[in-house]
Structure 1
């Protein structure tokens, strides 16, 4: 679904001081919708003590909005169809409020205008006709599921009492993005498609590792890695898959589970000692979801062995690294690799 307003597309994070249950109750029992000149139907409530009172808006909108333009209102947002199917619910995704941009109105009748009607501490329900809110591609109607949902979209907004600056909103973005990624991964892990995907990935990996040429390469690499560990006085353990590892500094935190995003500092070298990559180049740890095939198999397995805070050496045979293809000019084909890693974070 494509919303024509930036807030409707991008506001995917929030929590609030007011639950959507209360706001929904206000929607059902708060009388008829009022209507702006541009066609937005609305109910706006302000909290008075433990109750909510309806607040009406003049025909020309909220005259105080000009004082809020350029700032951000912290709030919680939800979109539903006319038949109450949830399209988007920021409250279920994170536990903090999201900055809602308050901008000069370029187009009336859109979510931007709806936000302009809200003062800090207000809550509102806004009803849009699907055809006015969606920008369909040329010759294509609005999505059928929205038509079936009553041909309207309801936007629920529950705000806090706080306005913030653009700088403060930008400072919130890393945390908001991190929480959004975690929520997306949680939803993915819960889906039946994910279980099928992971099973197919395991079967493909097992089939690849059972190939005669791979078995031969693993045997060759194993001898090389054992010799390397002995010459370098490493006290390593071996996993069933063939990875050797030594914990240099035990961590005290938990071990990561499949689907969690981890942050890792690392230094990668060939067994000759030549460095081919390092997190120092980026000046920060690398982040990736573990167990999702986002990194080489040796990392997916090796990092999962560590507690948060651990530093370790991983010796990875080539079939669990870059295999016969290598990686550019830095990593030749069939190269066993050494990594020094530090698991600095688990989201």
Structure 2
């Protein structure tokens, strides 16, 4: 019996190590693929804005009225969420009602929250959100893991503001 256990433990250890190695390699491959896909999108669409420190691309399309939300403000936005190929996966416009949420409460993806904090009431922007500021390695609804996303966002209202 001791003889069998002596050889089973190393075998099980090697098996577990190889399984974990495969999952890490797969995650690294997915991350690399997502980063290459994003770089290609930026080049193909001639995006020339400087990314934020986090990597978000914020492309202002229309100025607002100068009233910006505080970091914990309650905000209302209209948005259309798309994959890099332009396919829409979600839209508040289609539902006919803006999405309302409170900032700094992890109610939306990090990239969307960061963008809203850069906007003033009435402003419109297109944001390109790297996968790690979106859903990361999780699949959520129709959005596969490691998906870079594009949002057209309009800040409709905010309660708790910095008046400029």
Task: Identify whether the pair has TM-score above 0.5, normalized to the shorter chain.
Answer: yes
Which residue matches 2:138? 325
- SS of 2:132 mapped into structure 1: helix
CA contact (8 A) 1:291 1:301 kept: no
1:277 aligns with 2:84: no
Structure 2 gaps of 5+ residues are: 1-25, 160-164
> Which is higher, the Rg of structure 1 or of structure 2?
1
In structure 2, the CA distance between the partners of 1:216 and 1:302, relative to structure 1 (3 Å rule), is farther
1:342 aligns with 2:148: no
- Out of 71, 76, 83, the position equivalent to 1:263 is 76
1:242 aligns with 2:44: no
Structure 1 gaps of 5+ residues are: 1-212
CA contact (8 A) 1:268 1:340 kept: yes
Deviations 1:162-202 (A, max 9, x none): xxxxxxxxxxxxxxxxxxxxxxxxxxxxxxxxxxxxxxxxx
Moved over 3 A (4+): 213-223
* TM-score, length basis structure 2: 0.73
CA contact (8 A) 2:56 2:130 kept: yes
State the Cα RMSD in Å. 2.2
Which residue matches 1:231? 44
* TM-score, length basis structure 1: 0.36
Which has the higher relative contact order, 1 or 2, with Cα contacts under 8 A spaced 6 or more apart? 2
In structure 2, the CA distance between the partners of 1:259 and 1:234, relative to structure 1 (3 Å rule), is same
In structure 2, the CA distance between the partners of 1:343 and 1:216, relative to structure 1 (3 Å rule), is farther
